[in-house]
Amino acid sequence: MACVYIPVQNSEEEVRVALDQLPRDATDILDILKAEQAPLDLWLIIAREYFKQGKIEQFRQILEEGSSPEIDEYYADVRYERIAILNALGAYYSYLGKIETKQREKEEHFILATQYYNKASRIDMHEPSTWVGKGQLLLAKGDVDQAFAAFKIVLDGDRDNIPALLGQACVEFNRGKYSSSLEMYKRVLQVYPRCPAAVRLGIGLCRYKLGQFERAKQAFERVLQLDPENVEALVALGIVDLQSNEASGIRGATEKMQRAFDVYPYCATALNYLANHFFFTGQHFLVEQLTETALAATTHGSTRAHSYYNLARSYHSKGDYEKAGLYYMASVKEINKPQEFILPFYGLGQVQLKLGDFKSSLSNFEKVLEVYPENCETLKAVAHIYLQLNQTTKAHEALRKAIRIDPRDPEAFLDLGELLISTDSGAALDAFKTARNLLKKANEEVSIEILNNIGVLHFERGEFELAQQTFKEALGDGIWLKLIDSEPQSNSIGESYSDPIRKALYQPMESSLAARVYKDMQLFHNLEKDGIAVELPWDKITTLSNLARLFEQLHKTETASILYRLILFKFPEYVDAYLRLAAIAKARNNVPLSIELIRDALEVDDKNPDALCMLGDLELKNDDWVKAKDTFRAAKDASNGKDSYATLCLGNWNYFAAVRSEKRAPKLEATHLEKAKELYTKVLVEHPANMYAANGAGVVLAEKGQFDVAKELFTQVQEAASGSVFVQMPDVWINLAHVHFAQGNFALAIKMYQNCLRKFYYNTDSQILLYLARTHYEAEQWQDCKKTLLKAIHLAPSNYTLRFDTGVALQKFSASTLQKTKRTVDEVRATVAELKNAVRLFSQLSAASNLQFHGFDEKKIETHVGYCKHLLEAAKVHCDAAELEDQQNKHRQELARQAAIREEESRLAEEQKKVKLEKRKQEDELKKVMQQEQHLERIKEHWKSSSGSKRKDRAQAEDEEGAQGERRRRKSNKKRKRDKKAETHMDDQEETEEDNTNTNYYEPENQVNDQVDDDDDNPQDLLAAAGLEDSDLDDDAAAPSSNTGRRIRGWSESDEDEPEKRQRSSSPVRDNSVEMQLSDGE
């Protein structure tokens, strides 16, 4: 048992004080210490013992009394003990400031600690323990740089000062300089190898921060060897084991945390990790107990942030978003910077998003992105918030960024598809398909929701076959496939009765039940009796309903009705199936059955706005105005005025009430139109993209005569409606055509009516045909008007109004034709025929028994009949005059035709004569050209023979006889050629003389021939032929040929009147002449 002895003043006795039996009241021991003037070191020993026993107030009381001015004055010469007491007080208040959570009290504690340290410095400013205390105070305040300077002052004086080294190591650790901190801890071990185990704990933490987990683990295990119950080492080892992310490591970490909890149940870090473990095991009550204990046991901000986070996460998983939000917020407040612990910000953003606080949620998620800018989950959450805030561009950018970061994330593509589904169906479809492919590659199941969305997008794009395939893929196998595929084939009637499903589908039905087939469930009862299971999972209802809607679009209404009835057979509360069956019945003009089906839907949900609005439309169609108005009001009240369609229906009711044909009062009409405009405008304010409200507003404006504004509205609605297969708005086409008609643009109106008929009604709507006929009538296109009305009568033979309008059109056509100043007999005859048809039509109408029912006045019809007969009598005179004029016109036309024929024959004969003359002329020219070429050939041969004789060697004169014989032979041959040429020339002259018309034309060629003949009789040539030529004239042998060439060339150049063809044919002669001259010159 430890004791201290207080010496008695002026005596050798001592007062023995047992440290484990210190008095509860520190005043008693203080009285003894003061009375006996005990050394100050005893004051420190007793105060420290009180601190160890947890008696903090007694500890503080003794130290504060030991630092009082009286003690300072009495113990003025005792410096070290006084400094130690002051430093102990400074360390105590530093600790209080460090653990205090309230800022004001924290600052007060730090101020007191500073005062005690400054007082100690005034005693001895170089005391190392004071500087170490100051460094710890500054470190607690977060002033790391000044703390570093304080510890450095100590180490500069004593580099082996262990407290300063430990403080410096702590400063470097907080700075993030883990390597430097590690070196400091190592130096402490070198200086003092028997240091406490906590020093090795610092080494392990530095190793852990440096990523050296094995070395860190060794350090923590060494701490446990020295101190088996070191809680911090146990917790640190557990955290290291968690880094392995393996089952064995997690088990080991949990065991160490539980061991630390057993050693010290108030270790906040161990409590937090245990709470985290129990959160994943689903033991939320343990999570809450452990985190609440941790919060009570610690004041450390980061540790408390983890505790609040665990508590918030527990409530979050249980769906208590209010409490979860409060605890997430408390966790965030304990964090100085988001980088320290980001998870509470993410959880708080999730809770705020769930509670609808989008801006606050966005702020927290943005803080997460500041720390982790490439976190895909956060980017997707931010995109969702932007979408809720109608910032679609930013939402699109966030999702695109998430996809770039992780292109294999199917959820990102799904979110992108959801975002684009209302703006870009093509891109949305691509995104959904990519998500589906990624899920298939990962061998994950593709949800029915994804396939349903893909099918709907194909449906919207008009790709019905792909939509059907996708819907069937989503539904899988089931009774619905057999119902769809059980259509009877013409060649398999026997098979249809062997198959129980086909037998049930196509068995004969009584005529009384045929009209109510859409409510018949006997089919499915029969299938169950035959042992066929009729099952439909709840998660496939929507997809099956979409498939049935697709069959409606493909005009397979029977198949669609079977699928709708299948849904109602298994789920009678599915209201949409009732409404679609009612729509099918309405399309078949079975209004009573349609109303009955809607009432069945209202029995399931009597406040369903869609059913009430549809019922009001049918009542309006039945001309039950009061009931329709009450029904529309009930639909509006059922949705608390939020259902825009109910408001729109009320607007339609007011419009129809304003334009009713019977009892139209101007004031009442204006009131109803203004009310309709108000309701349409209200819908547009809430939903600016509502096309039906815009169309209604345009109708009201058109009724008020504001055609330009109405036309602009109709055009915008038409453009918006043309982009979706689900929006079928023929009304806007008709309204736009009405506006063109009212403005007198009949051509545009006709085009709009025709396009509407073709696009929406397959040219089979009699009412629109009536609109088209009226436009033709106003445009004075009588025949088109008649054709259109006849087509309408064919479609609606019981509509007597069409017959009356046809008679009026025929009457107007006849009257306009007779009023023409010039008309043909065919027009007059057609007029007579049309008048007879008009009389017949009016006569039929006047004979009708229910004339008044159709709104006709008998006197009015008699007036039309009388007028048509009057026109018939007038038409006879016009017909006789037209026939006489027609005969005269035909006679004049016949005379003119015969004159034209004669003139044409004369012209053809003249042209044939000219062609013959031209052909003869071309043949003669060709002959002359050939003659010239032959003559030139003979000249060439003559020149060649002359030049050959000149080149003979004079040395062979002795062989004169042989040479003379050769000349004779050549002369005889030449003579024969001249005789033959002369005969040919005579024949040509005879042919030329026969053609008197071309004598002058060929005269120059005769001259050329004469000249050529003269050249043939050249004396020199004769001498040469006889072998008697003069040798002195050898050098001049070329002269005759040159002269001949010049004569030919001169003739060609002087003949200026020669035609162009002759010049082309004579050009070879000139060229040949030049060549001849060159050869003679040689």
768-801 confidence digits (pLDDT tens): 999 999 999 999 998 899 999 999 999 988 888 8
Distance CA 785, CA 792 (A): 11
Distance CA 756, CA 692 (A): 17
Contact call for residues 43 and 72 (beta carbons, < 8 A): no
SS (H, E, C) 625-652: HHHHHHHHHHHHHHCCCCCHHHHHHHHH
- Mean pLDDT for the stretch of residues 928-947: 87
More confident residue, 411 or 999: 411
> In this predicted structure, what is the pLDDT of residue 508?
55
- What is the overall mean pLDDT for the chain? 80
- Reading the block at residue 249, the tokens are 């490591």
> Which of 122-126, 727-731, 950-954 has the least mean pLDDT?
950-954
Helix (H) or strand (E) holding 5, with range, is strand 3-7
% of the chain beyond a pLDDT of 70: 82
At 481, the amino acid letter reads: L
Q: Is the pLDDT of residue 312 over 90?
A: yes
Distance CA 196, CA 597 (A): 87
Q: Is the pLDDT of residue 444 over 80?
A: yes
Q: Give the model confidence (pLDDT) of 844-862 as tens digits.
A: 877 765 555 555 667 777 7
Distance CA 630, CA 477 (A): 46
> Which of 427-436, 505-514, 797-806 has the least mean pLDDT?
505-514
List the one residue out of 1073, 1055, 1075, 1071 whose CA is nearest residue 1063.
1055
* SS3 call for 732: helix
Contact call for residues 655 and 672 (beta carbons, < 8 A): yes
Q: Give the model confidence (pLDDT) of 1030-1043 as tens digits.
A: 444 344 433 344 44
- Reading the block at residue 312, the tokens are 């918030």
- Mean pLDDT for the stretch of residues 481-492: 63
- Mean pLDDT for the stretch of residues 586-604: 90
Q: Is the pLDDT of residue 567 over 90?
A: yes
DSSP type of residue 6 = E
Distance CA 432, CA 411 (A): 10
Distance CA 841, CA 803 (A): 7
Q: Is the pLDDT of residue 458 over 70?
A: yes
**Per 3-state DSSP, what percentage of the chain is helix, strand, and coil (rounded to 5)?**
80, 0, 20
Distance (Å) of CA 27 to CA 39, 58, 743 = 17, 9, 111
> In this predicted structure, what is the pLDDT of residue 1037?
39
More confident residue, 915 or 842: 915
- Mean pLDDT for the stretch of residues 706-714: 92
% of the chain beyond a pLDDT of 90: 25
DSSP one-letter string for 779-846: TT-HHHHHHHHHHHHHH-TT-HHHHHHHHHHHHHHHHHHHT-SS--HHHHHHHHHHHHHHHHHHHHHH
> In this predicted structure, what is the pLDDT of residue 995?
44
Contact call for residues 924 and 998 (beta carbons, < 8 A): yes
Q: Give the model confidence (pLDDT) of 506-549 as tens digits.
A: 555 554 444 566 777 888 888 888 888 888 999 999 999 999 99
Contact call for residues 612 and 647 (beta carbons, < 8 A): no
More confident residue, 718 or 1020: 718
Q: Give the model confidence (pLDDT) of 961-1004 as tens digits.
A: 555 555 655 655 655 556 555 444 444 444 444 444 443 333 33
> In this predicted structure, what is the pLDDT of residue 451?
94
Q: Is the pLDDT of residue 279 over 70?
A: yes
- Mean pLDDT for the stretch of residues 938-966: 63
Q: Which residues pair with 6 in a beta bridge?
A: 15
Q: Is the pLDDT of residue 757 over 60?
A: yes
Distance CA 765, CA 737 (A): 15
- Mean pLDDT for the stretch of residues 126-155: 88
